[in-house]
Amino acid sequence: MTDPLLEVHHLTRHFPVRAGLLSRSRKVLRAVDGVSFELQAGKTFGLVGESGCGKSTLGRAILRLHEPTSGRVTLDGIDITALGHSALKRQRKHMQMIFQDPYASLSPRRTVGRILDEPLALHRFGDRAQRQRRVLELLDIVGLAPAARYRYPHEFSGGQRQRIGIARALAVEPKLIVADEAVSALDVSVQSQVLNLLGDLQSQFGLSFVFISHDLAVVQHVSHFVGVMYLGKLVETAPVDRIYTMPAHPYTRALLEAVPVADPSRRDRRLVLPGEVPSPLDPPSGCPFHTRCRQAMPVCRTRRPRTIDVSQDGRPHRVTCHLHDPDIDG
């Protein structure tokens, strides 16, 4: 196996939070708490979890849009977390981001042509004529007409705006794109168009994606490898087919059961996961999921679960749960 393109080692991102409006005591919000995974070139790592689980913070910490508190991220062997300001800036052309709301991330006062030219100019991508050719090429890649470069973001539909956001991310030929809820705001018929586009781009340019989404069906479609996050931690990671057919963590199973199925003959099949995600400021003791877990044992309340390797046939599968720990009696 070749070296992975992206390696994330025990990455943490903590935010100091004041406990009350006037309180002096500070608490630490462990938004990302010791996350490790790796991603091969040309593959997609899907990151799922409920809101507040830290998946967006993780995505940003990988790109150092949020400065990690500790841990290491390497991209193509280069330690991103150790880079100085200017070196990081140069490295950014290898790693780009696509956001949920393209409207909020595209300047309303600039034409699409300028929006696309900006990263090219910033990273010194040839002279003006070369950059202009590149802008046209980018529009073509994402399926927009050449005339789009004279227009402003508000003149486009949501799906077209997301294409512009994708074109901007692609402009500097990145190796890695972190896509944070990139299709969540789009209508179903447009969503599938954009997902297909992302798939085409991956096979065309060998791109790697960290694909963050709350939608398990979308994640299944785009990912090769999936990580499930709960309260800042990855509780399960596995190849996509394994995680969807033999989920090992009770949380992963509960998430899968909660997905609505467009088949009226399959109602009442679900076991609803009770309760809500606990406050990350005050996470439960032991296993953070024990407060909602149907299979919780006494040990889950007191002891933090280890990450257990449940790989089979050389297919890496890890789960952080006492149920799979051979040293724990259920």
Give contact residues for another protein (rule: CB under 8 A).
Answer: 50-51, 157-160, 187-193, 195-196, 199, 214-218, 220-221, 240-241, 244-245, 254-265, 267, 270, 272-274, 276-277
- Tell me the closest approach of the beta carbon of residue 80 to another protein, in angstroms: 30
- Tell me the closest approach of the beta carbon of residue 325 to another protein, in angstroms: 25
- Tell me the closest approach of the beta carbon of residue 78 to another protein, in angstroms: 32
Rg, C-alpha atoms of the chain? 21
Nearer to another protein, 248 or 308 (CB): 248
Q: How many CA atoms lie within 13 A of 153 on its CB side?
A: 21
Tokens of 66: 């949020």
Nearer to another protein, 86 or 265 (CB): 265
Where on the phi/psi map is residue 313: left (φ > 0), alpha (ψ -120 to 50), or beta?
left
Return d(Cα 53, Cα 76) in angstroms, integer: 27
Nearer to another protein, 187 or 309 (CB): 187
User: Is residue 58 a contact partner of residue 47, using CB atoms and an 8 Å limit?
Assistant: yes
**What are the angstrom distances between the C-alpha of 210 and each of 38, 153, 293, 317?**
10, 25, 28, 18
Where on the phi/psi map is residue 251: left (φ > 0), alpha (ψ -120 to 50), or beta?
alpha
- Tell me the closest approach of the beta carbon of residue 183 to another protein, in angstroms: 9
Nearer to another protein, 25 or 265 (CB): 265
Nearer to another protein, 114 or 214 (CB): 214
Query: Residues in the chain, how many?
Result: 330
- Tell me the closest approach of the beta carbon of residue 268 to another protein, in angstroms: 9
Nearer to another protein, 3 or 276 (CB): 276
Helix (H, G, I), strand (E, B) or coil at 81: helix
